[in-house]
Amino acid sequence: MSQKQYWKGLEELQQPEAHVQATENEFKEELPFDLSDNLLNATTPRRDFLKFLGFSTLAATLVASCEMPIRKVIPYAIKPEDITPGVPNYYASTFTDGGDYCAVVIKTRDGRPIKIEGNELSSITKGGTSARVQASVLNLYDKARLRHPYAEGNEATFDAIDRRIKEGLAVNTQSVYLLTSTIISPTTNEVVTQFLAKYPNAKHVTYDAVSYSGMLLANEASYGKRALPTYHFDKAQTIVSLGADFLGTWLAPIEFAKGYGLGRKINARDLRLSRHYQVEANHTISGANADHRATCKPSEQGAVAVALYNAIVNGAKPSLSTNALNELVMGAAADLKKGNGLVVCGCNDVATQTIVNAINDKIGANGTTINWALTSNYKQGIDADMVAMVEAMNNGQVGALLMHGVNPSYTYFESKKFDAGLAKVPVTVSFAERMDETAQKCKYIVPDHNYLESWGDAEPKPNYFSLQQPGIAPIFKTRAFQDSLLMWAGASNTYGDFWKQFWSTKLGGEAGFDKALQDGVIEPVGAMPTGGGSFAGNVSDAMAKIQMSKPGAMELVVYQTIAIGYGGAWSNNPWLQEMPDPITKATWDNYACVSPLRAKQLGAELSSQTEVDAKKRVIIIKANGQEMKLPVVVVPGMHNDVVAIAVGYGRDPKVGRAAANTGKNAYPFLSFNGQTFVNHAPVSIDKTAEFYEIAITQTHHSYEARPIVHEFTLYEFSKDPNILLKERKEEIGAFTHVPWLDEKDGAHEEGGKEKTTDAKALAERDSTSEFDGMDEGFRENGTMYPNYISPGLHWGMSIDLNSCIGCGACVIGCQAENNVSVVGKEHVLLAHEMHWLRIDRYFSGMPDDPDTIQTVFQPMLCQHCDNAPCENVCPVSATNHSSEGLNQMAYNRCIGTKYCANNCPYKVRRFNWMDWNGADCFDDNLYEDYRRDDMNDDLTRMVLNPDVTVRSRGVMEKCTFCVQRLQEAKLTAKKANRPMQDGEARTACQQACPTDAIVFGNVNDKNSAIYKLRKQQQRERMFYVLEHIHTLPNINYLAKIRNTDMIVAGNENKDGMYMEHI
Amino acid sequence: MPKLRRIAISAFAVLLAFFSSNFSAIAAPDGKALFQSNCAQCHNPVKDATGPALKDKDKSFPTKDWVYGWVHNSSAVIQTGDKFAVDLYNQWGKTQMTAFPQLSKDDIDAILKYVDNYQPPANTLATSPGNSTSGNTEVDNNGWVYTMITLSLLLLVIILWKANLALRRTANEKSGIPNEKEIPLYRNRLVIAIVVILTFIFCGYWLVNGAISLGRQQNYQPSQPIFFSHKVHPGINQINCLYCHAGAEKSRQAMVPSPNICMNCHKQISEYSGEKEHPLYNAEGKHIDGTAEIHKLYDYAGWDPAKKEYRRDALGNIITRPIAWVKVHNLPDHVYFNHSQHVKVGQVQCQRCHGPMQDMDEVYQFSPLSMGWCINCHRQTQVQFTNNNYYSIFEQYHKELKEGKRTGVTVEDIGGTECQKCHY
């Protein structure tokens, strides 16, 4: 059964009046027309209309007849040899942020970075990216970045600051603290060592805002290494995750998503599919992708780990709080015992992590899916060190504190205590790139470069190096953090020299160095070393500790969103602020996630509980002695007794305009248990009389419950791989041939039938042969219109719903590539968001039972229909079809009737309601909103792709299949005098995808990946959305196959609801 | 009409230039052109530069064959240990002369003949404004003359018609036939109707045409910060367009050269020597001192012509500033145009769009750069269908070509008039 009842939100399931109205009105505003009978008494009578018409014609004539502006063309004074204006240069580099790592390639145009791509030479990230990596280029042009160093709040020169800091450090040599986030750069570590050597009693404290201390300490106890192993999700047949959102935010999601994606690829001839169990408190994208999912309170995670351990070791039946959990644990234990299992846990509790280590040891994961021969350096922070340092500060034992990559005034759980301690430190230095909460309180600020401006390196895993080279000279008066340290350590060389020398020596001279710099990565030859570890943890002690933990009646969990993460510079990134959260689809705010049942119990009335009304009930949350008011967002799949709040919001206004006044800071809800930070706490919640608007995009662009997604269980699919083909044939089979033409071929048909016995072997070899010609027949005979012919190229895209994890990297990749506008919260509320590519998220299951909720993600973009409904209705033919199968949009021809958006069945067209980017000639038209105004700053506009038009007000826009990239790839082939190669033209979303869910290419080329995928490899899983209306999309999807016994359908009695809409 | 004439005349000029350049290639080698394009970067006929002054220098060389060998590959000659060659090499600071294997013996002879007969330009400026009116204004004058002739002929027709009418009336009176009552023209309903309709049509036509041409700048000819004459450079001196506009084959932008490209030649060429053959005048007819313009370049490029070296700051960087040229060819922001697509792939000559650049002292916009103009060309122009392997994917067209069903493939046939080829 591929069509279960899907719903985007509860409003679609329950169909309240307001939702019905909202979906009927395509555009949220009232049209500014008065349709009353008495025209002259109307608000805009005919005479006024004529007056306006006359006036505007005259005005336009006057304005247009003014002299043409004189434009200048200014060549370089001395042209750099390797820059050709108009031709992009690519530089391999490395993205690091705390311990987050990604090998990247920077695309620069005329000397400025405009796009970040993954570096495919890296065997760790393998060309994958995340939304944050894609958006990092915008941080470079952030207007809120500091433009010069500060001493006591005033601008200062580096010389003056150096002198004063050196003096300060000389006086306080006995107690110098260097506080950083995890450093994975070998040269930076060397520099730190040099610095520490100069001040012998200096201490280096590593502090990660989101802590992994629990794992580090547990691993130290279990394996004798304070380190993190390498996880091989690609080799895992059974994945059990206890609260770890390893696809979204946990540890190294890009690396894990790559591996996970490999295990989720499936076709009818190879039915191997990994099975993924997830136990979690809130709803993460890892949970959404899981085959089996159950919820528990965060405090119960330890108990679940113990139950799983017992079930594996002695087959003990678990007795957890719900049956769903018990069943899941039994199922997981059985599967894990089959081998190639992997258990990960997102909990920061040493005891729980010790049990997880024990489980992994028992199931033989060490050496297969967990690699101890190759550890990971991603996180190194030890929470107790940080707590001790804050104590020391408050006791007046710290003479100097230098902080890089950290912002404890915001992220530390007792930020007031930290601030009090900071005030007692005589010399405080921040290397922050913006005036963040901590920098404001520091005596000196010596801003560090952006990563796109600086040299550097990374060692994500031992002997796996990655070099970082700048894509642009520093824009402001900033200085590399390492240069400052070297300077204060009294070294005579700069970091650049030191870095160059370090790598030249290591790589054996200039040639090796150049090659490494070009590749961006330096990796050992051959396959990754693998090896296990001998487990020596104290299981019984850990179990005893876990048993002591007492659950609260209601619990709070603090989590990271996939866009904003721990906070940092990301909070002020308008692209990320406006990226809809994969699960809640909310933008620009944080909120308290609660389950539908809990919302009902809170007395949040329907309009607020569901998503029709943007106004959300505000609740008061009390935990850990803190109190906070936040609006409620109802998230199906949340544990009924859990409230989840994201960090990264509630920033100080000086952090930047986009960050200012968005949500509340949730870090104060953390606590310290004597060993590690704890991200959950017992909580009490109460409703207030207040409401607050949250901009949620989930029901914008609705399909009104038409059948969109096809989903099967692995069992169904393996039993009958042609199940989807049969469904499709049932739907479109009648239109694949013309009856009266068939009669003529009757004789031929019978002859064919006789041959069936001979052809039986043939049919068995290719069981899909009965569906041969179905697609072609439907294309030709399903319409009265003539067919489009593509003589040369015909572009096509395939999106695999099985490997799409919903992470949103493609959304931001598209935004960066195509100059997609940010509209701000006010306009998201009006459904004016401009994303060309959205990820639709569908739930199914019973909203009141979180363990039944199953989730499907479906990226939705212009389908480039060969029989496009939008093209037929455009009065000025601004949108029409190309011979390459592209649905073209000519902005300068568009007059903004929006008929096309009305007629698009996929709801992928976006209208420019405002002049978002200053593309109009009238300055006064420019839309202003304090949150996104920086997008129009001259500095921020440097991020715009010069090959893509910046659209002006009043025109429609939509996905172009990155036509600028297609044209460039064609031109490259033409210049080289050869046909285009498959994979030469890649769209931005395809390139950004960490799981390779998107395949793109020329369907006319019989050797292309897309042709083979459609006609051979994935024939059985392929479908087109709304195929029966004969739009002939050029994007196909591959059906989702869930490795489970049952697809939860939910309200079966309402099944078929969609039928009445068709 | 004048426009058509102008186009016809310019087209004729292009053709003429084309043929004349062809003829000159067949005829005896042009020593001056060869010198300018090959030697002038390092040599001056009468002054020592990177290399020695060449006038009468050949008389000091051992043999003619020695000269040929030297020009074709000087380092080989030096390596043979030839004393004269080694001395020369040492005397000139061991700077190796670029090898010119492509120059034939005839070519070398022609160059030597040119330098030997070279007369340095007189310092007195030739002031003959007779030549100053450019071809364009002549065309305009002609147009004016034709208009005058047409108008006077029209007037003549009206006068004759009036006279005819008056004569008929007199004849009628004489023969006693009554004349119709005379209605003045301005009260004649028919005339009023015709005038109104004509005015309407004319105004409408004018308005629509005016609106269409908004933002178009055909014949736009701004004055530039430096009077750079294309006539002197690619025209008289036959410098390849791509030498300076190196981006035309690689990039969407043809690239305006940076001053350091200019300095490749102008380190040596510090004065304008063509004053006699081709004195420079700007569009207003004002005489331009070419040498002064070259010195303006030095100012931008940071070159000290007296010391023959760049001015440098304390860090050793050349003190230079970019030249803010006025952009002549402007396309709206929503148009994507790629030079390399046309120049490298389409093998389109620069002059096809830019007009006779080799005849322009000051550049003007030759083509309308309107969408209709682009589309027309895309409809008519055939792509390099069989020469470029990229087009091998168009199997159907190749079949048709083979079968003789089609004679060629135009840009339009492969989708070159679709919106998203230029607008995205």
Nearest residue on chain A to B344, judged by CA atoms?
A975
Whether residue A233 is contained in a domain is answered as yes
pLDDT in 10s for each residue of chain B, 424 residues: 445 555 555 555 544 444 444 443 345 667 777 777 677 767 777 777 667 878 777 777 888 888 888 888 887 788 887 888 888 888 777 777 777 777 888 888 888 888 888 776 554 443 444 343 344 444 456 778 899 999 999 999 999 988 998 898 888 888 888 777 777 778 888 889 999 999 999 999 988 888 887 778 888 999 999 999 999 999 888 999 999 999 999 999 999 999 989 999 998 888 898 888 889 998 888 999 999 999 999 999 999 988 888 999 888 889 999 999 999 999 988 899 999 999 999 999 999 999 899 889 999 999 989 999 999 999 999 999 888 999 999 999 999 999 988 888 999 999 999 999 999 8
**pLDDT for res A39:** 54
Contacts of B414 in chain A (CB under 8 A): 791-792, 883
**pLDDT for res A756:** 43
Q: Does residue A369 sit in the same domain as residue A233?
A: yes
Distance from CA of A218 to the nearest CA of B (A): 55
Regarding beta strands A586-587 and A456-461, do their DSSP bridges make them parallel or antiparallel, or are they unpaired?
unpaired
Q: Does residue A223 sit in the same domain as residue A363?
A: yes
Q: Give a three-class secondary structure readout of B74-95.
A: HHHHHHCCCHHHHHHHHHCCCC
**pLDDT at residue A766 above 80?**
no
Q: For residue A547, name the pLDDT band (cuts at 50, 70, 90).
A: confident
Instruction: Write out the H or E segment, with its range, that includes residue A682.
Output: strand A680-682
Contacts of A892 in chain B (CB under 8 A): 332, 334, 423
| C-alpha–C-alpha distance, residues A914 and A922, integer Å | 12
Q: Does residue A605 sit in the same domain as residue A659?
A: yes
Regarding beta strands A203-206 and A176-180, do their DSSP bridges make them parallel or antiparallel, or are they unpaired?
parallel
Contacts of A818 in chain B (CB under 8 A): none
Query: In Å, how far are A71, A79, A608, B250, B263 from B322, measured between CA atoms?
Result: 15, 10, 61, 22, 13
What residues does A1035 pair with on adjacent strands? A797
Q: Give the nearest partner residue to B222 out of A70, A84, A971, using CB atoms.
A: A70
Tell me the range of A468-482, A684-698, A926-940, B14-28 where mean pLDDT is highest: A468-482
Judged by CB atoms closer than 8 Å, whether chains meet at B214 and A64 is answered as yes
Q: Which of A617, A628, A619 is nearest to A667 (CA)?
A: A628
**pLDDT at residue A1051 above 50?**
no
Q: What is the DSSP letter of B39?
A: I
Q: How many CA atoms lie within 13 A of A419 on its CB side?
A: 12
Judged by CB atoms closer than 8 Å, whether chains meet at B340 and A975 is answered as yes
Contacts of A200 by beta carbon, 8 Å cutoff, 6+ apart: A173
Q: Give the nearest partner residue to B215 out of A68, A87, A960, using CB atoms.
A: A68
B345 touches chain A (CB under 8 A): yes
Give the model confidence (pLDDT) of A850-904 as tens digits: 998 889 999 999 999 999 999 999 999 999 999 999 999 999 899 999 999 999 9
Whether residue A943 is contained in a domain is answered as no
Tell me the range of A261-265, A527-531, A614-618 where mean pLDDT is highest: A261-265
**pLDDT for res A36:** 55
Q: Does residue A564 sit in the same domain as residue A635?
A: yes
Q: Does residue A348 sit in the same domain as residue A419?
A: no
**pLDDT for res A735:** 85
* Best A61, A63, A70, A73 residue to mutate vs chain B (most B CBs within 10 Å): A73
**CB A95: neighbour CB atoms within 10 A?**
27
| C-alpha–C-alpha distance, residues B356 and B12, integer Å | 10
Q: For residue A174, name the pLDDT band (cuts at 50, 70, 90).
A: low
B209 touches chain A (CB under 8 A): no
pTM (2 decimals)?
A: 0.84
Q: Give the nearest partner residue to B394 out of A64, A84, A791, using CB atoms.
A: A791
B321 touches chain A (CB under 8 A): yes
Distance from CA of A67 to the nearest CA of B (A): 9
**pLDDT at residue A1056 above 50?**
no
| Residue with the two structure tokens 């490029």 | B301
Instruction: Characterize A905-925 residue by residue with b for buried, 16 or more Cβ atoms within 10 angstroms of its Cβ, and e for exposed.
Output: bbbbbbbbbbbbbbbbeeeee
Q: Give the nearest partner residue to B253 out of A71, A85, A978, using CB atoms.
A: A85
Whether residue A287 is contained in a domain is answered as yes
**pLDDT for res B121:** 58
**pLDDT at residue A810 above 80?**
yes
B144 touches chain A (CB under 8 A): no
Mean pLDDT of A39-68: 71
| C-alpha–C-alpha distance, residues A1045 and A717, integer Å | 11
Whether residue A200 is contained in a domain is answered as yes
Q: Give a three-class secondary structure readout of A145-206.
A: ECCCCEECCEECCHHHHHHHHHHHHHHCHHHEEEEECCCCCHHHHHHHHHHHHHCCCCEEEE
B344 touches chain A (CB under 8 A): yes
Q: For residue A1050, name the pLDDT band (cuts at 50, 70, 90).
A: very low
Q: Does residue A492 sit in the same domain as residue A415?
A: yes
Contacts of A747 by beta carbon, 8 Å cutoff, 6+ apart: none
Question: Which one of 1.20.1050.10, 3.40.50.450, 1.10.760.10, 1.10.10.10 gives the CATH number of domain B2-116?
Answer: 1.10.760.10
Whether residue A322 is contained in a domain is answered as yes
**pLDDT at residue A193 above 60?**
yes
**pLDDT for res A752:** 40
Q: Rounded to 5 degrees, what angle do the CA atoms A204, A208, A212 make?
A: 115
Contacts of B340 in chain A (CB under 8 A): 971, 975
Distance from CA of A988 to the nearest CA of B (A): 15
Judged by CB atoms closer than 8 Å, whether chains meet at A889 and B421 is answered as no
**CB B401: neighbour CB atoms within 10 A?**
16
**pLDDT for res A928:** 84
**pLDDT for res B285:** 87
| C-alpha–C-alpha distance, residues A871 and A1031, integer Å | 11
Judged by CB atoms closer than 8 Å, whether chains meet at A78 and B320 is answered as yes
Q: Does residue A343 sit in the same domain as residue A454?
A: no
**pLDDT for res A1048:** 52
Distance from CA of A77 to the nearest CA of B (A): 4
**pLDDT at residue A758 above 60?**
no
**pLDDT for res A1058:** 34
**pLDDT for res A319:** 87
Q: Give the nearest partner residue to A979 out of B222, B393, B418, using CB atoms.
A: B393
Q: Give the nearest partner residue to B327 out of A72, A76, A883, using CB atoms.
A: A72
Q: Give the nearest partner residue to A79 out of B260, B334, B394, using CB atoms.
A: B260
- Using DSSP's 3-state secondary structure scheme, residue A14 falls into helix
**Cβ atoms A489, A195 nearer than 8 A:** yes
Contacts of B256 in chain A (CB under 8 A): 73, 75
| Residue with the two structure tokens 């280029």 | A137
| C-alpha–C-alpha distance, residues A954 and A903, integer Å | 18
Q: Which of B41, B5, B410 is nearest to B261 (CA)?
A: B41
Output Rg (C-alpha) for chain A, integer angstroms: 30
**pLDDT for res A419:** 94
For chain A, the domain total comes to 3
Nearest residue on chain B to A877, judged by CA atoms?
B419
| C-alpha–C-alpha distance, residues B270 and A774, integer Å | 75
Q: Give the nearest partner residue to B258 out of A71, A76, A87, using CB atoms.
A: A76
Give the model confidence (pLDDT) of A75-92 as tens digits: 998 888 888 999 999 999
Q: Does residue A285 sit in the same domain as residue A313?
A: yes
Q: Rounded to 5 degrees, what angle do the CA atoms A183, A188, A193 make?
A: 100
Tallying the residues shown for chain B, one arrives at 424
Instruction: Tell me how far apart the terminal alpha carbons of chain A are, to the nearest angstrom.
Output: 19
Tallying the residues shown for chain A, one arrives at 1062
Contacts of A954 in chain B (CB under 8 A): none
At A193, the amino acid letter reads: T
**Cβ atoms A855, A288 nearer than 8 A:** yes
Q: Does residue A258 sit in the same domain as residue A370?
A: yes
**CB A899: neighbour CB atoms within 10 A?**
16
What totals of helices (H) and strands (E) does chain A contain, helices first? 35, 43
Give the model confidence (pLDDT) of A470-498 as tens digits: 999 999 999 999 999 999 998 889 999 99
Contacts of B327 by beta carbon, 8 Å cutoff, 6+ apart: A70, A71, A72, A73
Q: What is the mean pLDDT of chain A?
A: 87
Q: Does residue A282 sit in the same domain as residue A308?
A: yes
DSSP A218-266: HHHHHHS-SSEEEE-TTT-SEEEEES--TTTTSS-HHHHHHHHHHHT--
Judged by CB atoms closer than 8 Å, whether chains meet at B418 and A883 is answered as yes
Largest CA distance in chain B: 117
| C-alpha–C-alpha distance, residues B276 and B370, integer Å | 39
Domain boundary among A696, A712, A741: A696
Q: Give the nearest partner residue to A975 out of B211, B253, B344, using CB atoms.
A: B344
| C-alpha–C-alpha distance, residues A632 and A644, integer Å | 10
Whether residue A641 is contained in a domain is answered as yes
Contacts of A960 in chain B (CB under 8 A): 420, 424
**Cβ atoms B268, B44 nearer than 8 A:** yes
Q: Which of B123, B43, B111, B121 is nearest to B277 (CA)?
A: B121
Chain B from 211 to 250: CB within 8 A of any A CB: 211, 214-215, 217, 220, 222, 246-247, 250
Judged by CB atoms closer than 8 Å, whether chains meet at A948 and B340 is answered as no
Q: Does residue A364 sit in the same domain as residue A388?
A: no
Q: Which of A707, A731, A712 is nearest to A723 (CA)?
A: A712
Across A258-267, A525-534, A736-745, least confident range: A736-745
| C-alpha–C-alpha distance, residues B276 and A349, integer Å | 92
Across A231-245, A591-605, A976-990, B39-53, least confident range: B39-53
At B247, the amino acid letter reads: G
**pLDDT for res B15:** 46
| C-alpha–C-alpha distance, residues A593 and A604, integer Å | 13
Contacts of A963 in chain B (CB under 8 A): 420, 424
**pLDDT for res A937:** 87
Q: Give the nearest partner residue to B388 out of A70, A75, A974, using CB atoms.
A: A974
Mean pLDDT of A939-965: 93
Q: Domain holding A451: CATH number?
A: 3.40.50.740
**CB A980: neighbour CB atoms within 10 A?**
22
Q: Range of A241's domain?
A: 213-376
Contacts of B421 in chain A (CB under 8 A): 882, 967
B203 touches chain A (CB under 8 A): no
**pLDDT for res B132:** 39
The dihedrals phi and psi of A295, each to the nearest 5 degrees, come to -110, 150
Q: Does residue A232 sit in the same domain as residue A361?
A: yes
Contacts of A590 by beta carbon, 8 Å cutoff, 6+ apart: A561, A630, A645, A646, A647, A648, A649, A650, A662, A663, A664, A666
**pLDDT at residue A110 above 70?**
yes
**Cβ atoms A570, A589 nearer than 8 A:** no
Give the model confidence (pLDDT) of A1000-1023 as tens digits: 999 999 999 999 999 988 989 999
Interface confidence (ipTM) of the complex = 0.85
Nearest residue on chain A to B391, judged by CA atoms?
A979
Nearest residue on chain A to B412, judged by CA atoms?
A883
* Best A62, A63, A66, A76 residue to mutate vs chain B (most B CBs within 10 Å): A76
Nearest residue on chain B to A67, judged by CA atoms?
B215
What is the crossing angle of helices A495-507 and A186-198, to 10°? 120
Q: For residue A748, name the pLDDT band (cuts at 50, 70, 90).
A: very low
Domain boundary among A349, A376, A403: A376
Q: Two tokens at B405?
A: 């069903």
Judged by CB atoms closer than 8 Å, whether chains meet at B418 and A888 is answered as yes
